[in-house]
Every structure is written in structure tokens, then in C-alpha cells.
Amino acid sequence: MSRMQNVVIETVKTALGWVPAQWLPGGTPDPLIERRVALGRQDSRLDGPAKVTGLARFAAEVPMERLCYGALLHSTVTRGRIARLDTAAAEAAPGVVLVMTHRNMPRIGTLALIGVSDLSAVGNSSLPILQNDEVRYNGQVVAAVLAETQEQADHAASLIEIDYAVEAAKTRFDDAKAAARTPASILIERNHVLVGNAAQEVDRAAHRVDNLYRTPGHNHNAIELHAVTVAWQGETLLVHDATQMIAPSANALAKLFGLKKQQVRVLSPYVGGGFGGKGLWDHQVVAVAAAKLVGRPVRLMLSRESVYRMIGGRSPSEQRVAIGADADGRFNAIIHTGYSVMPPYGACPEQYTMCSRALYNAKSFEIVQHHVDLDIVPNTYMRAPGEAIGTFAIECAVDELAHQMGIDPIELRRRNEPERHPLSGTAFSQRALTTAYAEGAQHFGWERRLAEPGARRDGEWRIGMGCASGSFPYARMPGAHVRLTLRRDGTVNLSCSAQEMGMGTSTVQVQHAADRLGLPVEAISFDMGDSALPAGSMAGGSSQTVSLAAAIMAATEKLTGELLRLAGNDSPLAGLRARDVQLVDAGIGDVADTARHESYRSILTRAAREEVSVIAAGSPPLEMLKFAMHSSSAVFCELRVSEVTGEIRIDRLLGSFDCGTILNPKTAASQFKGGMIMGIGLALTEETLFDARNGRIMNATLADYHIPVHLDVPEIDVIWTGIPDPRSPLGARGIGEIGITGVAAAIANAVFNATGKRIRDLPITLDKLL
């Protein structure tokens, strides 16, 4: 979520507090990079037992007394007004507790869009929610029903009669291009980048490619449906939500319903997949309002159809990439421009050109994005927004150029590998993409690839190999807090409002805290998923791990000072200051003289304290300002294409990652693979079918929107350079989103190698290969 980077950096610029000297130029890297015990170990995820037994309770699973169930009704037209609304039959239906429409929905304001003001702005849509008779997109929520049972609610919703006064709507991407907007900036970057005269350079280049690439809309399709269980307890509001943004959601709901922050508690200890889609949308607001009206707790779990209708996904795009190269393959010019959808009430600019700013050196650049305005459900962030589809375009283009020039595509990339950030000239904090390629190529057996397309076959199958680069920016959120409580028995509890969507958050941070504090992992527990806890970071932008790590570092520092104070003059540590000590062997020790050591237990016992508790926030993420920081990857694919049917079977997929320190190989490999598998879907099967005639999503089911199934997923190889980033906490960078980037291009390039057919329109369905 690089829009978050935007906000992050803005926030940092304005609120320059303490400077984390150790990560700035000339500073010393995080000492834990060198000293690791639990970190780097294959620990199994801590939440595993609760999940495999079905005991982990998700948002829709919290039992409550007097619960009623919600169902939503969606607009069937795209633009217009509600001309007639008859709720009588629904109200009279058995079990109905409330029918809520714009007529009786409490009046509330609109949500601040993500990234607009500050980190508490989390709205994905700024349209009013059930506040008036206006319809702005097909699928917008127009009514809600509460009933004693889900079956009754669903039935009653089907009895509501609505006539619309239909107005003309913009639903055709191609038609709307003419009126596209060109914003001044995309995230924090200037949108229109011109270095030299790229158009002229391309024309004059010895070798050039210049093509259009198209990607369709996508949906996150987390298997858990969006759900809330909401209860008003007097003047306080309890929201069990499936959300990636616990603390900001609580703030936003408080603002919307005129409550104090402390009056809203959002709980979300487990989230059944998010990928950017589990934010604050209309349904939470509707549920909270409806619960208020009826004075009863409400459970609202969206139907799968509702998820498609009202939770936006990834925008479709049309991208032009042109590259010019000299006779040696050095790039004279990179042009990356295009169109994606961003309605004025949406928040996500789908920054597909970002990757092209950092991947290659070139003499000249032209980069610009245009926003097409359509009347559709607002698109939002989806795993590696921008990069997932941007790398498809640029990395296919590089492959096309390499083929044209008769150069190995890895070699062509190597020749254009930048030393510093190609546009800003900033130093990379650490970058070893070339190493990742070398190691990946060796592991994969790249030398077995035949450059000539269609040269390898096995029966009816043509076999091909392809590769591509992936890239994703580093982000660390400011303001992530954590509470660290050290008890006299030598155990530690960490707590904050962060969440566990499957990334292994708690597992890795427990490993981290164990090393940081010189304790075994068994001594550490981690509570999270509750806005009543110190505000952690949101799960987005692949930033949660380093953001929490920085908070834990800060808390440890604070704790150390506190412990030294408590240790006092009777301690072997007497006279030592924080910078003289390290935390080892369940206590504090003198760095210079290992004999000087006192255990936590002893310090607390002498001080007659049961526990010491500190809350701290991570330092401002200044490293992001000073360095160009990116995770990067080399993706390799081998696949078969049936000459008869055009069917594609991926036989092998390998990701070679350069993402800093890998904190837990087991959970990290899962993150990488998960992203890569979503990349398989992006390449081959996934497409949200917007009917261009009316902007309605027609495949609003998991049967008709094809995400990869087991048989589509080969055994995936994942390797990494493991080179620590000297500028980040633990030497780590994000790993959650990089996995999907580059995959679609590697697959498309392998399809070309197998068949000689260049498919520039995703998904690569078999009809395109007949």
C-alpha cells in the first residue's frame, strides 16, 4: 500500500521528532542482524493449533445474546435515483426487526479517504452511505434488513421493491479515456516524469519495443467473507471486525458516529485473508447504525456476491511501455504510461508505473499515469497495488527487447542494473538483484532454456521458460506502538492492536522479542487484534513486520533504561548506562565485561516489583527518506502449452528474493509462495467481469471468478539472498507483496518461449493461444 508510504513520509516530514541515528548514513545497523538465536529459525506459526482445530474465532463467530442478522440489498442500476421504494412486504415478513434505507438511516458524515489526511483516514469510498436516494454505481448498498435469523433477513431483503430513475452512466473504459485526468502526483511521487526526450530517444534507438499491455480488474477474494459483529453497550461501541486496520477503523467509526476514541473498540484477532480488501467499507457503517437503531447486537456477514458488488478490487489498466536500447542493449529510454480507473470518490491510484522508476537505468524517461473516471465500485489496494500489474508490462517489454536483440534476458537486465536510484540518484540501502538472478538461474537450470521459441516439446505440449524481475518498495509506518511488560518470573508480554492475517506476525515478533530481550521464545506472549491495546500498525504495504519491530526496539530501549534505574546501586550493573549494556541470558549484561550481569528476576525482586511495563513507538522511518529501499526478486517459470487446446500448465516456478534478513524461513516462504500463487491467477485465470454496458460485475461468484486451485499450483521453489538491509530494523524489508510481482511477466515470457506467441492481454486464457 504505497499510498501509505505517501502518508508516512508526509507525517514524518512534518513530525520530525527523534532521529534514529543508527540507520542514517554512517550509523550502525541494528545489532540483532548479527546476533540471532530465535530469529531465522523455522518456528511453526504460533496460531497454528487454534486454526487447525477450528477454535480460532473470526469476526462472524463471536456468540452474543439477542443477536440479529443483517442482509444487504444492492442497486441493480448504475446511476440514478430511487424513484419508488416499498419496504412494506419486507417489514411484514416473519422475523424482521428493521428495514433500513436512506429514509431512516441515521445521518452521518462521510469517511475520510485513505491517505487523505492522516493515518486514521481509512475510507475506501467517500460516497455517502445510505444518506440519500442517489445511486452512483451498480451494486451500491441501497437497503439493509435485520431479522432474527439469517434466512429471514435474506428473504426479507428479496421482498424490498425499488424502482429507479435511471441516468446515463460512464461504464466503458475506452470511451472514458478521452476525459481521463492526469493527477499532479501519484502517491508522493510526481506523476509526470520527464528525463531527457524519451520519445525521441526511442525513435532513434538501435533497438526498440513499444507495446500496449492490458490487465483486467481483479478481486481480492479472501476466503473469509467480510463480516462484523457489532454491539452497542450503552454509549460504547464494540465491533468484532474482519479488518486489516484495527486502530484506524476504531478512530474512523468514532468520528463518524460522534464518539470519543475510547468509546469504540474494534477487535480483530484473526482475519481470514485480506490482501488489501479488508478495510473500512460501507457494511461496517451500516451494521453499526442498524445496531444503534434496534438496540441489539448485529451480525452482518456479506454474501460472496455482496463482496464483489461493494468491496472494490484492483483497477483494470492499459499500459504502454516503450524501451529504446543502443547496440549494446543499454537503455536510451523508458516510456511507461497508461490508464487505470479511479473514480473521484475512490482512494487508490493503482501506481503501476512505480516499478519502472526504480528497476533500470536509462538515459531518458517518460512516465505518466492517467485516471479514467467510471461509475463503478471504487477500486482499492490489492496485493502489490501498482507493482503487480506494472511489472507485467515493463518486464514483458524487457523480454521482448531481449528476444529482438538476441540477448539473454537476464544479461540484458544486468546491463541496465542501476547503481543508485535511476531518477532520484539516491543510494539504495541494499540491492542485490543481480545476485538474486544469478542464484535463481543456477537453481532453476536457466541454462537449459532454448532462446528460440517453440523449440522444446513433449508430445502435444510445447515447453517454455521465462523470467522476470519483481519489485516492491519498503515501507515502515510511524506511530506503531507496542506495550512491553516484563514480569518478575522472567516472562514478557507484548501487546498492540496489530493483526494476524496469516503473515505469521506474532510468531516472528515473538522470535524477535526473544532475541532482543535475551529470552527463550517460550517466555514471550503477544496479544493483538484489539484497538484497546496500544495502536499498532495496520497490515498493509508489507510494512507491519518492520513497523512492529521498530516499536519493539524502542520499547526495549525504554525498558532497559527503566531496569537500570530499578537495579540501582546494589546491582552488579551499578553505574552502567543504557548504551553500555546488552540484554542477554534473561537479564542485563555489561557489553565490555560479560561477568557483570543481573537477571530480570533479580532486578525486579530486589525492587519489589511484580512487573515493569513500558509503551513505546517506533522511531520515525527516516530511512525511507534517505535511501531508496526496495525488495526485489527474480522470478523463473517453466510451463507447458498444449498445442491442441492452448491449455497452460505451470511445471515449475522459482522465486529468488532479495528482501533483507529473512526472519522465519518457514512463514516467509509461505508469504512468498502465497504471493506467487496469486501471481499465477493474475497471469492465467483471474478477471473481474465488468459488463461494459452497465458496469455490473457479472461473475460475482467463486465458481465464475477463477482463482488457482490445487491442480494449478506446482511445487514452488523459493530462495533468497538473505543479505541484511543495514538501514532497517532487523535488516528486514517487506515480504508480503513482492511475491506476486514479476510473476505474470515470467509466465507470459515463458508462454512466448514455448509458443512464439506474445500475449499482452491478461489473463492468458487458452483461446488466446489457439
Partner 1 sequence: MNPLSYHRALSTADALSRAGDGAARLLGGGTNLVDLMRKGVERPSALVDVTALPGTIEATAEGGLLIGAAARNSAVAAHPLVRSQYPMLARAILAGASAQIRNMATVGGNLMQRTRCLYFQDAAASRCNKRIPGSGCEAEGGFNRYHAIIGTSPSCIATHPSDMCVALAALDARIHVAGAAGMRTIPLVDFHLLPGDRPDIETLLAPGDIILAVEIPPSPVARNSAYRKVRDRASYAFALVSVAAGLSVREGSVEDVRIAFGGIAPKPWRAFRAEAALRGGPATREAFEAAVIEELAGATPPPEAAFKVELARRTLVAVLTELSGSDR
Partner 2 sequence: MAIRINGAEIAVPDDARVSLLGLLREQLHLTGTKVGCNQGACGACTVLIDGERVLSCLTLAVQADERSVTTIEGLSGAGSHKLQDAFIEHDGLQCGYCTPGQICAADAMLREIAAGVPSYITADLAAPARLTREEVRERMSGNLCRCGAHNGIVDAILQVAAERTA
Of 285, 213, 264, 281, the residue nearest 763 (C-alpha): 213
Q: Which is nearer to partner 2, 222 or 730 (CB)?
A: 222
Footprint on residues 441-470 left by partner 1 (CB under 8 A) = 460
Q: Counting contacts by CB under 8 A, is residue 321 touching partner 2?
A: no
List the interface residues with partner 2, window 466-505 (CB under 8 A): 501-504
Output DSSP code: residue 15: T
**Left, alpha or beta for 479 (phi > 0: left; psi -120 to 50: alpha)?**
left
Residue tagged 506472549 (cell numbers) = 525
- State yes or no: residue 61 binds partner 2 (CB under 8 A): yes
Kindly give the residue spans of alpha helices, DSSP state H, lying in 467-504: none
Distance CA 703, CA 685 (A): 12
Q: Is 522 a catalytic residue?
A: no
Q: How far is the CB of 519 from ligand FES (least distance, A)?
A: 30
The only residue of 26, 34, 55, 592 in contact with partner 2, by rule CB under 8 A: 55
Compute the distance between CA of residue 340 and CA of residue 354 in angstroms, rounded to an integer: 14
β-strands 264-267, 236-241 pairing: parallel
How far is 659 from 355, CA to CA, in rounded Å?
Answer: 16
The three grid cell numbers given for residue 768, joined into one nine-digit string? 488466446
Per-residue CA distances from 632 to 23, 144, 673, 723, 744 (Å): 20, 45, 15, 12, 15
Nearer to partner 1, 464 or 587 (CB): 464
Of 603 and 669, the one with the shorter C-beta distance to partner 2 is 669
* Beta-bridge partner residues of 22: none
Q: How far is the CB of 480 from ligand FES (least distance, A)?
A: 24
| Site membership for partner 2, residue 720 (CB under 8 A) | no
| The residue type at 244 | Q
* Partner that binds at residue 330, options partner 2, partner 1, ligand FES, none, CB closer than 5 to 8 Å by kind: none
Residue type at 230? V
| 459 touches partner 2 by CB under 8 A | no
Q: Residue type for 722, please? A: G
Q: Quick check: 709 binds partner 2 (CB under 8 A)?
A: yes
The contact pattern for partner 1, residues 672-711, with x = CB under 8 A and - = no contact, is ------------xx---x-x-x--x-xxxx-xx-x-xxxx
248 binds ligand FES (CB under 6 A): no
Q: How far is the CB of 671 from ligand FES (least distance, A)?
A: 12
Stretch that binds partner 2, among 116-124, 132-140, 265-273, 362-370 (CB under 8 A): 265-273
Q: Which x/- pattern, by CB under 6 A, does the window 488-507 give for ligand FES?
A: --------------x-----
* Count of residues touching partner 2 (by CB under 8 A): 63
Q: Report the C-alpha gap between 434 and 415 in whole angstroms.
A: 10
Which residue's CB is nearer to partner 2, number 171 or number 507?
Answer: 507
What span, in angstroms and rounded, lies between the C-alpha atoms of 11 and 767? 49
**Distance between CA 255 and CA 263 in Å, rounded?**
11
Cα 316 to Cα 325: distance, rounded to the nearest angstrom:
29
Instruction: State phi, psi for 294 to the nearest 5 degrees.
Output: -95, -10
With contact defined as beta carbons under 8 Å apart, do 629 and 428 qualify? Answer: yes
Q: Which does 582 bind (CB under 5 to 8 A by kind): ligand FES, partner 1, partner 2, none?
A: none
Among ligand FES, partner 1, partner 2, none, what binds residue 496 when CB lies within 5 to 8 Å by partner kind? Answer: none
Q: Which has the closest alpha carbon to 79: 126, 144, 127, 145?
A: 127
Site for partner 1 contains 770 (CB under 8 A): yes
Give the nearer residue to partner 1 in terms of CB position, either 305 or 373.
305
Q: Which of 387, 562, 686, 737 is catalytic?
A: 737
DSSP 123: B
Q: Is residue 666 involved in binding partner 2 (CB under 8 A)?
A: yes
Of residues 255, 457, 649, 757, which one binds partner 1 by CB under 8 A?
649
Q: What is the DSSP letter of 571?
A: S
201-240 residues in contact with ligand FES (CB under 6 A) are: 223
- 254-293 footprint of ligand FES as x/- string (CB under 6 A): -------------------x--------------------
The C-alpha atoms of residue 724 and residue 659 are separated, in whole angstroms, by 8
Q: Assess 233 for contact with partner 1 (CB under 8 A).
A: no
Q: Which of 269, 250, 406, 440 is nearest to 325 (CA)?
A: 406
Q: Helix, strand, coil shares of the chain as percentages rounded to 5?
A: 30, 25, 45
Q: Are 87 and 300 in contact (CB under 8 A)?
A: no
- 673 contact, one of partner 2, partner 1, ligand FES, none, CB 5-8 Å limit per kind: partner 2
Give whichever of 470 and 708 is closer to partner 2, judged by the CB atom. 708
Decide if residue 592 touches ligand FES (CB under 6 A): no
How far is it between the farthest Cα atoms of the chain?
83
For partner 1, the binding residues (CB under 8 A) are 74, 76-77, 94, 138, 151, 154-155, 158, 305, 460, 644-647, 649, 684-685, 689, 691, 693, 696, 698-701, 703-704, 706, 708-712, 765-767, 770
Catalytic residues: 737
For partner 2, the binding residues (CB under 8 A) are 44-45, 47-58, 60-61, 63, 69, 149-151, 155, 220-225, 270-275, 301, 303-304, 501-504, 666-667, 669-671, 673-678, 701-703, 707-711, 713, 715-716
For ligand FES, the binding residues (CB under 6 A) are 223, 273, 502
